[in-house]
Amino acid sequence: MPGSLKFHQSALGKKVIMAASGIVLFGFVLVHMLGNLKLYQGAEKLNTYAEWLREMGAPLLPHNGAIWLMRVGLLVAVLVHVVSAYQVTRLSQRARPLNYKARQTLQATYASRTMRWGGVIILLFVIYHLAHLTWGSVHPAFIPGDVYSNVVAGFRVWWVSAFYVVAQMALGFHLYHGLWSMFQTLGVTAGDDRDWRRKFAVAFALLITLGNLSFPIAVLTGFVS
């Protein structure tokens, strides 16, 4: 199928692949944030929800079966997203004529630089976050299965909360720019009205960011204890 090979090798093809994997990741951060709101319903509700995630799909699937399927899907989406982002960057660098270097640096838009650095911060955050709240290896008082107490004890450490806050802001910018470029790539238009796409990107990024920021802030202020 030479036609489809050419498409996935082209800059547009790679951007479509980046957008498709991005949609999976958008879905995850939205569902994850909504699930974490159970923190406000107390220990029992949050811990029961975490346990339900592990039992999902039973008796068809074994204990932890559905969660492992999601982990594999998520990991594939992250890998595809990072590799296609790297390839798009390389393609656009190669397409750059040398004598236009100075001008091109100016033109290397604020958005594309934010996306690359934001992506790196988010990746580092996710690795730390897994070690913190999933494996417990960098958590001072990790209790397996007690998600509520792990979150509350974890966020009581002010610099841990500060790191989460910085990472959630990086994620917010990444979601905003990512959604906006996704609309461009997929050619989502509504006549001359480009405004709703920007509004949608702002609203979605704000929803996730404010939701996620609320958790460490609620613990540090004693609203959740």
Binding stretches for ligand HEM (CB under 6 A): 29, 32, 36, 50, 53, 67, 71, 122, 126, 129-130, 133-134, 147, 151, 164, 171, 212, 215-216
Residue 21 CB, shortest distance to ligand HEM, in Å, is: 13
Q: Say which DSSP state 134 is in.
A: I
Nearer of residues 11 and 69 to ligand HEM, judged by Cβ: 69
Residue 104 CB, shortest distance to ligand HEM, in Å, is: 31
Contact 26, 179 (CB under 8 A): yes
Residue 47 CB, shortest distance to ligand HEM, in Å, is: 9
| Rounded Cα gap, residues 181 and 184, in angstroms | 5
Residue 136 CB, shortest distance to ligand HEM, in Å, is: 9
Nearer of residues 108 and 207 to ligand HEM, judged by Cβ: 207
Nearer of residues 20 and 108 to ligand HEM, judged by Cβ: 20
Residue 12 CB, shortest distance to ligand HEM, in Å, is: 26
Residue 121 CB, shortest distance to ligand HEM, in Å, is: 10
Nearer of residues 4 and 137 to ligand HEM, judged by Cβ: 137
Contact 21, 81 (CB under 8 A): yes
Nearer of residues 178 and 216 to ligand HEM, judged by Cβ: 216
| Rounded Cα gap, residues 112 and 20, in angstroms | 18
| Rounded Cα gap, residues 30 and 23, in angstroms | 11
Nearer of residues 12 and 162 to ligand HEM, judged by Cβ: 162
Show the tokens assigned to 178: 């990512």
What separation in angstroms does the CA of 120 have from each of 86, 105, 114, 116, 160?
11, 20, 10, 6, 18
Residue 170 CB, shortest distance to ligand HEM, in Å, is: 10
| Rounded Cα gap, residues 149 and 142, in angstroms | 8
Q: Token pair 């989502």 is at which residue?
A: 188
Q: Token pair 């070690």 is at which residue?
A: 131
- Nearest-CB residue for ligand HEM: 50
Nearer of residues 151 and 179 to ligand HEM, judged by Cβ: 151
Helices (H), the chain: 2-9, 11-36, 43-55, 65-94, 101-107, 110-129, 147-156, 158-185, 195-220
